């Protein structure tokens, strides 16, 4: 898509440090890493949301992300890795081309997720939340699944 920095990276119009590429996905170093080696795995097709990425491509993103994590363990001697994906501005998505972060982690690397732990008021409250989600779960793409693609400028 025109004016998408990640589409431009795939097209070679913006330089990137490539780690892997196949017919479905492209993986490259994040320009402002959480830790050195932090990588992004993106679908070659432009999708704003991961929810509209076809299953084969989404599966490849996850597989490549996981194997990059293993390569980081071996090559960078990290102790683990995070796979992270932000979908939507409120969730922290800045670049509107779906992408999976692969972040190598070391003991004492100084990075902490701000992960809070709420408590459900009651079993009924928990069941109600589950049902609200369950009744809308559809595994095929539906209109309105994802935010509209940005208009071409
Ligand atoms: P988001 O916050 O949308 O989940 O993550 C976007 C990521 O893309 C950020 O971590 C940011 O550093 C990275 N990024 C943004 N622009 C570029 C770029 O031009 N090149 C590379 N390699 N990474 C970028
Ligand atoms: Zn794009």
Mean pLDDT, residues 118-131 taken together: 98
The catalytic site residues sit at: 99
CA distance 102 to 65: 6
> Quick one: pLDDT band at residue 143, thresholds 50, 70, 90?
low
For residue 73, how far is its CA from the centre of ligand 1 (angstroms)?
22
CA distance 29 to 37: 6
> Quick one: pLDDT band at residue 104, thresholds 50, 70, 90?
very high
E strand or H helix at 73, and its extent? helix 55-76
Average pLDDT for the chain:
94
Task: Please determine, for residue 31, whether its predicted confidence score (pLDDT) is greater than 60.
Answer: yes
pLDDT at 100: 98
- Among residues 55, 38, 39, which one has the least CA distance to residue 47? 55
pTM assigned to the model: 0.93
Q: Give domain limits for the chain.
A: 5-108
Domain 5-108 in CATH 3.20.20.110? The answer is no
Task: Identify which of 35, 88, 94 to mutate to test ligand 1's pocket (most ligand atoms within 8 A of the CB).
Answer: 94
């Amino acid at each position: 898509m025109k004016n998408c920095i990640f589409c431009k990276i795939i097209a070679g119009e913006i330089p990137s440090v490539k780690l892997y590429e196949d017919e479905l996905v492209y993986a490259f170093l994040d320009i402002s890493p959480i830790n050195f080696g932090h990588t992004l795995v993106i679908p070659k097709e432009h999708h704003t949301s991961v929810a509209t990425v076809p299953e084969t491509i989404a599966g490849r993103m996850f597989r490549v992300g996981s194997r990059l994590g293993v390569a980081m363990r071996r090559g960078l001697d990290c102790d683990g890795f995070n796979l992270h994906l932000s979908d939507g501005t409120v969730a922290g998505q800045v670049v509107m081309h779906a992408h999976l972060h692969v972040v190598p982690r070391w003991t004492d690397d100084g990075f902490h997720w701000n992960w809070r732990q709420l408590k459900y008021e009651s079993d009924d409250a928990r069941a109600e939340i589950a049902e609200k989600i369950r009744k809308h779960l559809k595994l095929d793409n539906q209109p309105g699944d994802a935010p509209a693609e940005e208009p071409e400028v």
